[in-house]
Structure 1
Amino acid sequence: MSLIDTLLIISAFSIWLVLLVNIILVFAGYIGYLRMRLAPLPSKFPFVSILVPAHNEGIVISKTIEALLAFDYPEDKYEIIVINDNSSDNSAELLKRIQEKNQNRFLKVINTNEITGGKGKSNALNIGLKESKGSVIAVYDADNTPEKPALKILVSELIADEKAGAVIGKFRTRNKNASLLTRFINIETLSFQWLSQAGRKMIFNLCTIPGTNYVIRRELIEKIGGWDLEALAEDTEVSFQVYRMKYYINFQPQAVTWEQEPQTFDVWFHQRTRWVKGNVYVILKNLKFLFIKEGRTIRFDLIYFLAIYFLLMFSLIISDATFILSISGVVHIDISGFSNLLWLFAVVLFVVSTFITITTEKGEMTFNNLMIIILMYVVYSQMWLMVAFYGLVVYIWEKITHKKIGWYKTKRYK
């Protein structure tokens, strides 16, 4: 057997291994979906501080604050703190108008400058935390429009379980029909939540904070010293810290927020590069916990992230490279027929498992979405491969050149 055939077999085995794990998570997530129930409302609601980090979010910030003010939660039991972080647009003016319109509500705006702010989401959240007074901290991104019951549901779940360090809700794509890309993202986010969130919760009692629409106990975030200033994926980093403190993160999909997603390739590529760099940082920072007893609670997640960002990525690169080289006649593959059969089965498994995840959502189980899922395997997976590899290379380069963390702004749309 030639070297190229050996490499192809190894890559095929790796891809299949990740696929099989994901299929197990999908079915576990579906069982979790069938079993999920709402926690009872507490007799007394705790005071909640909602932090909204915002940098040049004038296009969306008004709609977000209006949604937060409309929460079905006792008005005297929550505050909204917007960290308008070194913005150069009209955010400050818009927020001032909202404050004047809602003088009877506790809405605080912190305007930072290039000295105190402009250093990324983690820094903005830490600034807001210092000015907050709630025993429970909630975080919402500036492009979110949560549904009215979302906060009450999240807090109820947190109070009902004393070992719950945080509770996360579900996020939906509010501009899913804007482009083919947003249709891809809509399927991707639904699949991720029912696979990686609900599935991991069922089997391993693990979830990952998604960065928005979540609540966390103030004592925990203070104990870990706030959000890591070097972490672009500050949500994943906090998740690992919560588990290491012997707490859980619960997933309650009935607490829903709607968020705006990238509509063009360049905006998506920029956003996802940041995510890749952030997750690689968290993986490497916590890698030592693979080998010590203290890391037992996060060991599966470390292995899972390593498999996705390293094993799967390089296996897909090998698979794509051998395919291109073989059809161009540069190399000869003796097991081409066998590899094509494996590829076909992989497509079927991907389509079936992904389609199962969207059956949990009203209106998503359509023929059009089935076609989009098939197209995702051919197109979107290659886009992910491109951004994953690029993000890894950029991360290494930025570490070598000691580039400082700043705001990685995602473009918003009216």
Structure 2
Amino acid sequence: MKNSLVFSCVILLLFLMGVAAGSVVYSAIFLASLINRSLVNEWLPYVLLFIVIVVMAVTAYFTVRFVRQCRFQEMPALGEEQILPITAIIPALNEERTIVGCVESLMAAKYPKQKLEVIIAHEMPPKCTDATPALARQLAEKYANVHVIPNQDGHRGSKAGAINNSLSSAKGTIIAIYDADHIVARDALLRASAQFAANPGLACLGGKVMVRDVNYNWFTAIIGNECTVINNFSRYISELFTGQHMVYGSNLFIRKDVLEKIGGFDESSLTEDCDLGMKLIQGNYSMKMDYSIKSYEEPAITLRDWWHQRVRWTWGSISVLKKHMKADTSGGINNKGARTFLLYSLGTTGILFSIVLMGFVGFMLYMNVLTPLILLIVAAPLAVLFAAESIVDFCEGRGSVIDMAISIFIRPFIIYAYSLVGVYALVMDALSREREWYPSQRI
């Protein structure tokens, strides 16, 4: 009850700040002189239209560049000696619905089986309450290169712990991390190996994560490619302007010696992948994205699942930013780290200003200062991004015209829901609430 009350008060306060800002601007423009009123009424619609066109053009330019990188490139030709040993670690908690499909997709990969090892790092009862351990053992009996390592001792209870607990047993030069709900593209491992073989100094490689089963129910149909667009495009922009990017905790490849050198994953972090990315940036390790390396994950299938997942991501990001922004004895963060922090934190701190913006725009619309065209300034660039991803899906035989229409007219406004998610996460962090992990339902 207290959390909800504080959350509501913060939302109201931010909205009222926007209204106050709108009233100041309104007074400055319309109460100063009649000339200002006529100028605004006559020219403002054209100015807003011009801004929309410019914003859409800039977004379209970067979107086209991004989509080109996402297209399947020609399969790299590798000699047997160039194919590096890979250990794929799959942390699993109550994943009886998905674990078999994930492992089977790895077994079907175009990769020499003698150079591929799969470790299922599952939780043990009582934390695990379904048949995941039994299914893991069955898969290990079926495939000689599949091994089961229960997450126990001091590592129990987290994805980071499950991975760290498996590292000493991993034989691969490259560690691949996959969540249990992922289906891995057949050429993903070979493409990843080619990147490491061509770049001996490459420490970490990220692939593109896409959403499957988007038509499972009405909620997944509406959300659709929202996670794909925001996750992949944000990493693309970050890498484009800083040379570094935040890592995503699945379809992720990292050299084993690098992972050990930086101390593995932080088991206390709510978003261990975000923390790993910051450690790599701080250590000035070489990182790269290859959007032709694809895997497909399940979406959140209910509003509750979506809310708790996004709150956890945002709350964890806030914690990681606070942790790594603190100056250490060596003098604090490096230049690349600072620039990446800036870009990344815009997604975290920017959510506050979006609530303020709602109040400002709402007041100006109420006073007939602005036209509804102003709403396109926010929606238009997101519509371009979502539509582009829907076109990519359509070209791969997974999309539809209806999905494309939803991408253009509905999904862009999910940004307002993200504002609420972000503010709630900030409130929870400010109140020092205990961070909880809510398991997502599986299809």
Superposed displacement of residue 165, structure 1 = 1.1
Q: Percent identity?
A: 22
SS at match of 1:112: coil
Residue 349 in 1 paired to residue 381 in 2? yes
> What is residue 91 of structure 2 aligned with on the other side?
53
Q: Which one of the candidate residues 142, 147, 167 is aligned to 1:108?
A: 147
Q: Which one of the candidate residues 84, 88, 92 is aligned to 2:133?
A: 92
Per-residue CA deviation, residues 4-51 of structure 1 (Å, 9 max, x unaligned), is 327889xxx9x9999998667535424645796665425422222111
Residues 23 and 286 of structure 1, relative CA distance in 2, 3 Å threshold: farther
Matches within 5 A, 1:56-75: 56-75=94-113
> What is residue 412 of structure 1 aligned with on the other side?
442
> What is residue 366 of structure 1 aligned with on the other side?
401
Residue 338 in 1 paired to residue 373 in 2? no
> What is residue 424 of structure 2 aligned with on the other side?
390
The answer for unaligned runs of 5 or more in structure 2 is 1-18, 27-47
Higher Rg? 2
Residues 174 and 299 of structure 1, relative CA distance in 2, 3 Å threshold: same
| 264-273 vs 37-46, which moves further | 37-46
Residues 296 and 73 of structure 1, relative CA distance in 2, 3 Å threshold: same
Matched residues, number: 393
- Conserved 8 A contact 1:183-1:372: no
Amino acid at match of 2:428: V
Q: Normalization by structure 2: what TM-score? A: 0.78
Distance 1:96 1:47 in 2: 23
Q: Which one of the candidate residues 268, 279, 283 is aligned to 2:306?
A: 268
- Conserved 8 A contact 1:182-1:261: yes
Q: Which one of the candidate residues 168, 171, 178 is aligned to 1:130?
A: 168
Superposed displacement of residue 210, structure 1 = 1.2
Distance 1:73 1:299 in 2: 38
| 221-230 vs 156-165, which moves further | 156-165
Matches within 5 A, 1:213-232: 213-232=251-270
The answer for unaligned runs of 5 or more in structure 1 is none
Distance 2:182 2:76 in 1: 24
> What is residue 4 of structure 2 aligned with on the other side?
none
Matches within 5 A, 1:273-352: 273-288=311-326, 294-310=333-349, 312-322=350-360, 333=367, 336-338=368-370, 340-352=372-384
Aligned alpha-carbon RMSD (Å): 3.3
Q: Which one of the candidate residues 351, 364, 376 is aligned to 2:411?
A: 376
Matches within 5 A, 1:101-180: 101-102=142-143, 105-113=144-152, 116-180=154-218
Distance 1:7 1:92 in 2: 62
- Conserved 8 A contact 1:32-1:198: no
Q: Normalization by structure 1: what TM-score? A: 0.83
Distance 1:58 1:342 in 2: 47
Distance 2:71 2:171 in 1: 37
Superposed displacement of residue 55, structure 1 = 0.8
